[in-house]
Chains A and B, each alone.
Chain A
Amino acid sequence: MTANLVNILLGGIFHAAILFLVAAGLQVVFGVQRIFNLACGSFYALGAYVGVTAVRAFTGAGGSPALFIVPLVFGGLLVGLVGVVVERGLLSFVYDSDEAFQLLLTFALVLMLEDVIRLTWGTAPYSTAGLYLVYGQVTLLGAQVPVYNLIVIGASLGIAVGIGWLLTRTAFGRIIRATADNREMAEALGVDMRWVYAKVFTLGTALGTLGGALVIPTTAAMSEMGIELIVEAFAVVVIGGLGSMRGAFVGALVVGVFRAVAIAVYPALEMLLIYLIVIAVLVLRPRGLFGGAAV
């Protein structure tokens, strides 16, 4: 019984760890640039595919299986640089446009990236097989838990702390927060918005691609994984409150754990439950649990 419960909870927390990364990317971009990036799920899928490719190339070249996490993380972060291209090449044209157009531009990205993935990696699921089990399993309260899952949960926590540190303790973080609060004033004080936007969007993209890379050893990459994840990430930020990092953290936990419990208890409820929570939050507390921005 406890073993079962631990399994369900840890499964949920593992999912939450991944969701947090993607949602954090969504939040930082929305907080600073006021753009709700529908393509964050696509970046996640891109990171997943690049992660698998990097790991396969690594083991194919004779790299030690135990070190697979190195090319995985490296590949996941590196592909995040696609964010610079997207920001400079597309988004920078629409900062003065209506929100609807910005949203539609990110939808255009969703469409394009889905086919870029199909074009590059085909439609068959793509995986690293059971490589993540090289780290073995540990027994926690009677439940068998892969060590890799614990590593990812730890890494996600570490990143959460890292982002917190970046936003509150560094000069760049101060600039980000200042821009989020009052763009004109920040600009008047000499902040080069182009650079801030490029960096912030790349940071957001890299968080998403890293999330995709980290999840992939435990599952298989599929071209639809991006458009499926975006609605979950969307649920996370709505529950937590748009633009809030703490919100992303709590929202990810809520969505991850509720989903795991729902799947275990009554599978048909799975995402239905999550969306009902989302609607309840939007109706009762539209700014989310931690949101500060006015509606």
Chain B
Amino acid sequence: MSRLVLGVVTGVILVLPLLAPAYHVLLMLPFMAYAVIVLGLNLLFGYTGLVSFGHALFIGIGAYTGAVLTTHLGVRSLELMLLASAALGALIAAPVAALCVRYVKIYFGMLTLAFGMVFYTFLLKFYRLTGGDEGMQVLRPTLLGQDLGGIPKTDYLVGPYYYYSLAVLVLAGLVMWRIVHSPFGLCLRTIRDNPTKAEALGISIVRYRWSAFVISAVYAAVGGALLGPPTGNVDPTLAYWTHSGNIVFMTLLGGFANFFGPVLGAFVFIFLQDTVMAVVPYWRLIFGAILALVVIFAPTGLMGLVARRRPAEVARA
């Protein structure tokens, strides 16, 4: 059943650019970028039980890596942008994670927030390097070596770039599926549910948490790199702490206990935000209320609500 749903959803996404108006197809681009980000974040949040309030740091790293590569270094290949973002994300996450994973709960959250703000302030204040609050331009990248500079921007985005993002998302999803269903993923869940027992079983808690952190940072950086080209611009708010909060919000909204929950959350967040903002500019008020309701009444998110209505299926899965 869930495979059927997944197949139908994938099919719809595949043919969407042919059927839906360009406006909605364009909205799918940030969705797919955020989907990659929250897939990674949930490895840390849902599977390891650590709430980061600083993952916007890595989104910023990915986005600015793309900007620097295309505008300053003359590298236009999206493959190289994604690889460089992933590498840089991992490189910066390695020491950050080593310091953060020694703590849990609120101290972990605070430390990640502090690191995120360090990077944000760096982006904001080192004007010559980063463009300050105006941010940087991201030039149109080439895809698989194809220079697509000749076609109109919208055609580029709803066509090749759309399918490229989708391919990245599917690949990221498959890899994450393997990760969480591997012995490694099982260890992470053990650590989340009972760290003392995990340690007694010989699992090195700190090392596993560190790995989960670094993987999630790589996902955030790759997703961040995908966010740049559609708007053609990146700015420091990408690394601001409220942005970190928003991606945790997406994860919770969809349901952190389900593999696909965060992806659903990102989808609902992006499209609902767009719908609300078309009517009133006060999306934060409405989203804040939604978040409060989710936290109080449906902590397992939208996926949790669906699963509760069909208990038989949960038992089978």
A contact set with B: CB distance below 8 Å: 36, 38, 90, 93-94, 97, 99-101, 103-105, 107-116, 118-119, 227, 231, 234-235, 238, 242, 267-272, 275-276, 278-279, 282-283, 286, 295
Contacts and interface: CB of A to CB of B under 8 A. Distances in A.
Q: From DSSP, what is the main secondary structure of chain B's interface residues?
A: helix
B184 interface: no
Interface of B: 45, 51, 53, 99, 102-107, 109-111, 113-115, 117-118, 121-122, 125-126, 241-242, 245, 248-249, 252, 281-285, 287-289, 291-292, 295-296, 299
A119 B105 contact: no
Contact of A108 (B117, B118, B122, B295): B295
A275 B299 contact: no
Nearest to A276: B118
Sorted nearest first, the 7 A-B pairs with minimum C-beta distance are A112-B288, A111-B288, A115-B285, A108-B291, A268-B125, A108-B292, A111-B284
B120 to A, nearest CB: 9
Given A119-B282, A270-B121, A238 B99 contact: no
Contacts of A267: 125
Contact of A97 (B51, B115, B282, B299): B299
A97 B295 contact: yes
8 contacts: A104-B291, A107-B291, A108-B292, A231-B241, A242-B106, A270-B125, A276-B118, A279-B118
Contacts of B245: 38, 104, 107, 110
A235 B245 CA distance: 18
A113 to B, nearest CB: 8
Contacts of B111: 279, 282
A238 B117 CA distance: 14
B110 A231 contact: no
Given A268-B125, A279-B114, A108 B248 contact: no
A122 to B, nearest CB: 11
B291 A282 contact: no
Nearest to A279: B114
A35 to B, nearest CB: 9
A69 to B, nearest CB: 32
Contact of B110 (A112, A234, A270): A234
Contact of B289 (A100, A101, A108, A235): A108
Contact of A107 (B45, B102, B117, B249): B249
A246 to B, nearest CB: 19
Contacts of B285: 111-112, 115-116, 119
Contacts of B281: 118
A107 B117 CA distance: 16
B114 A282 contact: yes
Given A234-B110, A272-B122, A110 B103 contact: no
Contacts of A231: 113, 117, 241
Contact of B117 (A97, A119, A271): A271
Contact of B284 (A38, A100, A115, A282): A115
Contacts of A295: 103-104, 107
A278 B99 CA distance: 13
Contacts of A112: 284-285, 288-289, 292
A116 B111 CA distance: 29
A99 B49 CA distance: 11
A272 B284 contact: no
Q: Which of B110, B113, B295 has the most CB of A within 10 A?
A: B295
A286 B107 contact: yes
Contacts of A271: 117, 121
A101 B299 contact: yes
B115 A279 contact: yes
B85 to A, nearest CB: 23
Contact of B288 (A110, A269, A279, A283): A110
Q: Which of B103, B122, B281, B296 has the most CB of A within 10 A?
A: B296
Nearest to B293: A108
B45 to A, nearest CB: 8
Contacts of B118: 272, 275-276, 279
A206 to B, nearest CB: 22
B114 A275 contact: yes
A267 B124 CA distance: 11
A36 B21 CA distance: 44
Nearest to A104: B295
Nearest to B51: A100
Contacts of A93: 296
A110 B295 contact: no
Given A103-B106, A116-B285, A275-B117, 10 more contacts: A36-B109, A94-B296, A99-B105, A104-B252, A105-B295, A110-B245, A112-B285, A118-B282, A238-B114, A286-B107
Nearest to B296: A93
A115 B291 CA distance: 14
B285 to A, nearest CB: 4
A272 B120 CA distance: 9
A105 B106 contact: no
A216 to B, nearest CB: 22
A282 to B, nearest CB: 5
A101 B295 contact: yes
Q: Which of A94, A105, A111, A295 has the most CB of B within 10 A?
A: A111
B99 A283 contact: yes
Q: Which of B107, B126, B288, B299 has the most CB of A within 10 A?
A: B288
A116 B285 CA distance: 7
Given A94-B296, A103-B51, A272 B125 contact: yes
B242 A238 contact: no
